[in-house]
Structure 1
């Protein structure tokens, strides 16, 4: 698929192993650097490093980011569907959408980190049951947006994260405006082709869905190869161990600017 969209660059600012003041300063620096999107994630404990290290909650933080920034888009990469009723999540997203003046991306996935579930009293179930719950939640979220007063400021972009080819990518085709995945260019090309197939099956134009991946290498190593697969949103990650270093993000921003020139 040839996507005419410009390249965009994001940072997943992982809310672990740092004080909030440092996270707040880094969000400001990310916006100042010219990134397009800043994401956090939706967990209750660190995913790596000291397992009981410092960690902050996702959506409370997004509300604060909405006030602390003025240009950059914000969102979770990704919200765990299991942790909130879909109607509540829709209302939370609509509220942050208004606080940010239309800069929210609602990223969502089925959930996977069992410690979160066990410690906070959620039923972990099975991978299949969590995916089924995501399938049920997505149309409920969109339906609730139509009922809220005031309505969202815009058609809130819905990002679905995950690479499951039979269910997750089908749900993406049915509901999402952005797909986010992981992997090298060969993997990304394959996942995009599967997503295109699901779009054709339901009569949707695949070009309606922006393609996004997490990038751990430099743009010189993987930028052009991923671009050629149709990827247009490139998101690098940073946690607070030893402080947030925006060097790699700035490399991607420079590549973006050259690629979009």
Structure 2
């Protein structure tokens, strides 16, 4: 079992809600004691009414940076395809400063074809999008070293995805946090693959926090994931109502585990 403390995140999905409701949900999540508040980087709802209410990711993160004072914030996850890597690096650095050092750069290769089609991005293939991400990550890191001022610290990078050949190798090379989906057995198997990639690139796998999306009861799902090294557990909350009851349950479990 890992020695890291358990942390709990919540994804406030920016769909099917007026912004005032999103702002209230973020405030409530921080008041409840969430460790991280995420949104996501899409231009349209992922489920429900396909053309329903929806807001953009990074302008929202800047507002959250001003609104909050304790929680870490980030996208789960930014789509690499939507912004030039140097621009994204600068945006992340700026939001990091606005938040006094609370930003996590969550990033992935992208997958939601409607976003690409409607906004004029080339969708390509899953492989080409991963290749683009592999090219972008060193450019982001390089830009951070050139910016004036630089980020407030070494910005944590969360990479989302479970692809065993390309994605997990990128995690080994670049990520502070690896976020995945699946049951405990799936995550355990992929963690072993990640360890192999870490060995290949000379990285200590203990440097990478393992994160998982959860939607069950903490007493049922938490222990098995924790035994396999997961320490960041993220629940989802959708609009328009943003019911945070699941967040409350996972926060109570966190406090029991951490003691």
Structure 2 counterparts to residues 106-255 of structure 1, below 5 A: 106-241=105-240, 243-255=241-253
Q: State the Cα distance separating 1:3 from its structure 2 match.
A: 2.2
Counterpart in the other structure of 2:13 = 14
Structure 2 counterparts to residues 29-40 of structure 1, below 5 A: 29-40=28-39
| 3-state SS of paired residue (1:70) | coil
Q: State the Cα distance separating 1:73 from its structure 2 match.
A: 0.1
Aligned residues: 259
Q: State the Cα distance separating 1:173 from its structure 2 match.
A: 0.1
Superimposed CA distance per residue, residues 138-190 of structure 1 (whole angstroms, 9 cap, x where no aligned partner): 01000000000001001110000000000000000000110000011111111
| 3-state SS of paired residue (1:9) | strand
Please give the root-mean-square deviation of Cα atoms over the aligned residues, in Å. Answer: 0.6
- How many Å separate the matches in 2 of 1:220 and 1:98? 37
Q: Normalised by the size of structure 1, how large is the TM-score?
A: 0.98
Superimposed CA distance per residue, residues 37-61 of structure 1 (whole angstroms, 9 cap, x where no aligned partner): 0000000000000001000000000
Task: Identify the range of structure 1 (16-25 vs 183-192) with the bigger mean alpha-carbon deviation.
Answer: 183-192
Superimposed CA distance per residue, residues 222-250 of structure 1 (whole angstroms, 9 cap, x where no aligned partner): 10000000000000001104x01110001
Q: State the Cα distance separating 1:104 from its structure 2 match.
A: 0.1
Q: Normalised by the size of structure 2, how large is the TM-score?
A: 0.99
Q: State the Cα distance separating 1:193 from its structure 2 match.
A: 1.1
| 3-state SS of paired residue (2:132) | helix
Runs of 5+ consecutive residues of structure 1 not aligned to the other structure: none
